[in-house]
Chains A and B, each alone.
Chain A
Amino acid sequence: MTSAFKKMICRFLAIALITLPFQTGQASMIGTDQVNAAASVQLDRNLVSSYLSRAQTVNEFQVLGLNAQDAIDRVAAMTDDEVSTLAGKISAVPAGGDGLIALILVVFFIWYFAFRR
C-alpha cells in the first residue's frame, strides 16, 4: 500500500467519522432530511456518494491552500447536495474575490452616458 493511498483512506475515515449522522446507541429517530427523501435505497446510495464527495472536496481544499482542520470544518458545514455539486468542480466555479472598483467605474460611466442621457 502506498502512503498516498493510506493518507487518502485516513482522510476518508476522518470525514466519515465527523459527518456520519451520529447514532446515540439505541435511538433510531428519523430526521428531517430523510422525511424529505423519497426512498431509503436512494438515500443509502446518496450517503455513500456524499462521503466520497466530501473526502474528495477536503482533498481539493487542501491542494488549494487550506489546512486539514479548516478543510474538514468547511466541508462539514455543507449539505450533501452542495458537496456533490462542488466535488471535482472547485477550480471551475466562480470565486468572488476581486475588488477592482476601477473596472466597475469604467463600465459605470460608459453605461451612464450611453443609456441615461
Chain B
Amino acid sequence: MPDLLAWYGCARLTAGAFSLLAVLGGCASLVPQTMGLRDVWPAGVAVRTELTAVPFFAQQEYQCGPAALATTLVHAGAQVTPEDLVKRVYLPGREGSLQIEMLAAPRRYSKVSYRLAPAFDDLLREVAAGNPVIVLQDIGIGPVTSWHYAVVVGFDYPAGELYLRSGETERLAIPFTIFEYTWKRGNYWAMVTMPPDRLAATATEPDYLAAIAAMDRVGEARAAIVAYSTFLGRWPDNVAAGIGLANRHYALGELREAETLLRHVFARHPDSVAVANNLAQILSDLGRNEEALELIDWAAQPDMSPFAASVGETRAMILQRMGRDK
C-alpha cells in the first residue's frame, strides 16, 4: 500500500508544519473567527442546533455543487434533484461548479439566493434561523487546492463541532477550527436559498433587494410578487421594491393592483420621478389619459432626472393616445 504510506508520511509532515505554524503565528491568525467566537458568541443564537429535516443527496463524481444546491432547494420547497441541477451548474471543462452559478441557478426555481457576509456570526445565525447554508471549502492540503461545496445544517458549540451534509457523508461532524481553516481559503463564501415568502435572517436592505430583483429576471412572476411583498413587510419605505412589485403586477395585466400600489408608494415618496412615470403609464393604459398627462408633465419638470428619456417616451405615448402632438 504505497499510497497509504505516502499519505502517512505526508500527514506527519503536514502535522509538523501545522504545529510549527501554530507556535510561530498563534492560533488567532489561522482561525481568527473561531477565536473571536470564544470572546463573543452572536447574541440571540442558541449554542447548539441541528436541522435534521434537511434532505441529503450523496454527490456523484465531482458534482458536489448540484448535490449541495439540491439539498437547500428541496428544503426551500423546490421539486428538484441533483441530476436536474447538473445542467444548470456543473461545468464539465472545470470538473466543478462556479460560485456565481450556484447563486444564479436557484432563481430558475423561484428561490432567492443570498450570499452571506463572510462571517461565522452570519453563518450561525442563518442555521439557527432554520436555513441550511451552502459553503465553499478548500479541502486541499498545503499548496494543493481542492474546492468543495457542502451544506452546514447544525452546530454544537460546547462540543466544538459543526454538522455538514458533505460529499457522500450525510452527517459530517467537523470542529469549528478545521472548518474555519477550510472555509477561510475561499474567503468565507456562503449562501442560502430562500423561499420567496421568507427573508434570510441576516438580510440587509440593499443586498436582499438586489437578490430578489435577480430572481425576478428568470423566476415565476407570482414568486417575485411574494418576494417583493415579503421584503416590503420588513422595509416598507423602499421605493425600488414598491416599483418592482408594481411592475410585476403590471406585466401580468393587473393594472388596478399596480395602480393602488404605486399610489401608496407615491404618497410616501411624492418626489419620485420613476414612480410618477410608471403611474402615468398605468393610468394611460386604464384610459385615464388626462390624469396621466398631468402626472407626466409634473415628472418632466426636473429634466436633470436620470429617467428623462423614459419620461419623454411615456409623455409622447400619452399625447399620441390623446390624439395630440404636443
Contacts and interface: CB of A to CB of B under 8 A. Distances in A.
Partners in one complex: yes
Q: Size band of the B side of the interface?
A: 35 or more
Contact of A99 (B61, B186, B206): B61
Contacts of B174: 104, 108
Nearest to B212: A32
A97 B64 contact: yes
Interface in B304-326: 306-310, 313-314, 317
Contacts of B166: 99, 101, 104
Contacts of A30: 243, 274, 277-278, 307, 310
Nearest to A60: B93
Chain B at the A interface: mostly helix, strand, loop or mixed? helix
Nearest to A106: B11
B62 to A, nearest CB: 4
A63 B240 contact: no
Given A27-B281, A28-B317, A96-B136, A106 B94 contact: no
Contacts of A111: 18, 175, 177-178, 181
A13 B321 CA distance: 33
Nearest to A40: B306
B92 interface: yes
Contacts of B105: 74, 77
- Among A94, A108, A114, residue most surrounded by chain B Cβ atoms (within 10 Å): A94
B62 A115 contact: no
A40 B244 CA distance: 18
A48 B243 CA distance: 24
B19 A114 contact: yes
Given A32-B247, A64-B94, A39 B99 contact: no
B72 interface: no
Given A28-B317, A110-B14, A79 B240 contact: no
Nearest to A41: B306
B274 A77 contact: no
15 contacts: A27-B250, A29-B277, A36-B206, A38-B306, A40-B308, A61-B91, A63-B93, A65-B92, A94-B145, A96-B97, A98-B96, A98-B148, A104-B174, A112-B175, A113-B15
Interface of A: 26-40, 43, 61, 63-66, 70, 73-74, 76-79, 82, 85-86, 90-91, 93-104, 106-116
